Amino acid sequence: MNNQAQRFPSLVVAFISCVAPSAVSARAQTQEQSGPDRVAVTLTDPSRPALVKASLVNGGITVKAYDGKEVIVEARARNRDRESGRSESNNMKRIVVSSTGLSVEAENNEVHIGTDSFARPIDLTISVPVHTSLKLSAVNDGNIVVTGVDGELDVNDVNGSVTLNNVSGSAVAHALNGRLLASFTRVNQKPMAFSSLNGDIDVTFPADLKANLSLKSDRGEIFSDFDVQVQASAPQQTVEDGRKDGGKYVVKIDKAVHGTIGGGGPEMQFTNFNGSIYIRKAGAAR
C-alpha cells in the first residue's frame, strides 16, 4: 500500500464558499444552512479504480460504496455547545456559522478532500465507486466507518474507532484508543496490519483464508476460529547498535506469536497492548 502523499498541480479544485461551479469539473450545490456542503467529482477515468484521501483533526468519516462513477462528498459542521459564551451574550441573537471549508482536488483518479476541521468538528460522508482505494485519518471526536469498498484501505483513527464493513482487498488499519472492527468478503495477496493500543481488534475473514500471522497482545488475549499452526521457533532478536554515534547497544526480543492459517499466505500482523485480538471465520457457529 502506497503511503506516500504526492503533491501535484490540481486540475480540479472545488471550493464550496469561494469558487463557482462552472470553474471546476465538479458540481457544487448550495444547501440550506442546516444541510451539508456537497461536491460531486467525475473521475478522470471511471474505468480505473480511484484513490480517495481524507484527513480530519476533529470529526468523523463515513465512506460507502455505491453503483456510480462519481466521488460524492458531503461535509457537515457540528454545532458548538449552545451554552458556550452565553454569559457574555446578554440575550443577543446567536448567529450560527456552519461553513465546513470543504475543498476537493482531483487529478488522475486521485481525489484529495480537505476541510476546516481544525476549527470545529466536521463530519464527512463520502460515496465512492466500489473499486476504490482509501487513505483516511482522523484524530479527535469522531469514528471512521467504511462499507462495501473493494481496494487497498489505509485507515487510522487516534481517538475513535475504526469499522470496516464487508470490504474486499487489503487493509492497514489502526485505532489507537478505540475498537477496530472489520469484516472481509474477499482478501487479496497483499500484506495487512491491524493495531490498537486501548481497544479490541475484531476481524472476520472468509472461510478459505490463507495467511502468515504475527500476533501480539501485551495485556489482552488472542482468540481464533481458524486452526492456527503456531510456529515453535525461538523468539527473534533485533539488535540496535548506536554506539558509533554515542548511543546504546540494545537487544530486543520479539514477543509476537507466529503461525499460519490454511498453509500460509500473505503476511498479516495483529498488534495490541491493552485489548484482545479476535480472528473470526465467516459463517462459524457462535
- Residue 105 sits in the same domain as residue 149: no
DSSP string, 135-148: EEEEEES--EEEES
**In the prediction, which pLDDT does 235 show?**
64
- Residue 124 sits in the same domain as residue 222: no
| Residue in 179, 177, 150, 187 with CA at minimum distance from that of residue 163 | 179
- Residue 67 sits in the same domain as residue 188: no
Distance CA 255, CA 271 (A): 10
pLDDT in tens, 79-94: 765 545 555 666 786 6
- Do the domain assignments include residue 279? yes
Distance CA 221, CA 177 (A): 17
- Residue 156 sits in the same domain as residue 200: yes
- Residue 129 sits in the same domain as residue 151: no
- Residue 147 sits in the same domain as residue 129: no
**In the prediction, which pLDDT does 236 show?**
66
- Residue 158 sits in the same domain as residue 284: yes
- Residue 153 sits in the same domain as residue 51: no
Is the Cβ–Cβ distance between 280 and 228 less than 8 Å?
no
- Averaged pLDDT, 252-268: 88
Q: Which residues contact 89 (CB under 8 A, 6 or more apart)?
A: none
- Residue 107 sits in the same domain as residue 28: yes
Domain count of the fold of the chain: 2
> If you ran DSSP here, which 8-state letter would residue 95 be given?
-
Is the Cβ–Cβ distance between 158 and 139 less than 8 Å?
yes
Residue 187 has pLDDT above 50, yes or no: yes
pLDDT in tens, 1-51: 444 434 334 433 444 443 433 333 344 443 334 588 999 999 999 999 999
C-alpha cell at 62: 463515513
- Do the domain assignments include residue 235? no
How far the first Cα of the chain sits from its last, in Å, is 34
- Residue 192 sits in the same domain as residue 269: yes
- Averaged pLDDT, 184-203: 98
Domain carrying residue 72: 11-80+95-134
| Residue in 183, 146, 185 with CA at minimum distance from that of residue 162 | 146
- Do the domain assignments include residue 40? yes
- Do the domain assignments include residue 257? no
Is the Cβ–Cβ distance between 276 and 220 less than 8 Å?
yes
- Residue 127 sits in the same domain as residue 150: no
What 3-state DSSP class applies to 89? Answer: helix
User: With bands split at pLDDT 50, 70 and 90, how would you rate the model's confidence at 228?
Assistant: very high
